[in-house]
Amino acid sequence: MSEYVEPLGMRVLIRKDEARQKTRGGIVLPDNSEIPTITGRVVEVSVQVERNEDFPIRKYDKVLFHPKDAIPVDFEGNNLLFVVPIEDIVAVFRRETRRRSGKATSDSED
């Protein structure tokens, strides 16, 4: 039997992305730099969020979230899992894709 974390209420479980020491432009970030928002991948979505059409967040979405109220989950040794209130997710990364008809649609980033 394996264990898993199921968020309750208006919360999601996010695996935080690894901290980058260098920006895409090549600027080296100091170790103590504080970034007010963090990116990560949604691992689990509570039933309440899943049923709420006002929050189009799905499992595996890449999101930008504010870590202030994020609760670290001591489930893995590297402590990258966080239970995050839905209101602290400030953006979902989407990628625009084209259909054969030429109409644009948006999908989650892979």
Domain boundaries of the chain, sorted by first residue? 11-18+35-108
pTM of the entire predicted model = 0.71
Give CA–CA dist 49/44, Å, rounded.
10
Question: CA-CA distances (angstroms) from residue 46 to 18, 30, 38, 67?
Answer: 24, 36, 20, 18
Is residue 22 a contact partner of residue 28, using CB atoms and an 8 Å limit?
Answer: yes
The confidence band for 20, taking pLDDT boundaries of 50, 70 and 90, is: low
CATH code for the domain defined by 11-18+35-108: 2.30.33
Q: Within a 10 A sphere around the Cβ of 106, how many other Cβ atoms?
A: 10
Q: Within a 10 A sphere around the Cβ of 82, how many other Cβ atoms?
A: 23
Cα four-point dihedral sign 76, 34, 64, 24: negative
Give CA–CA dist 19/11, Å, rounded.
23
Q: What confidence tens digit (pLDDT) does each residue in 44-59 have?
A: 999 999 999 999 999 9
As a whole number, the mean pLDDT across the chain is: 80
The pLDDT assigned to 5 comes to 85
Please check the confidence at residue 84 and state whether its pLDDT lies above 90: yes
Both tokens assigned to 20: 């980058």
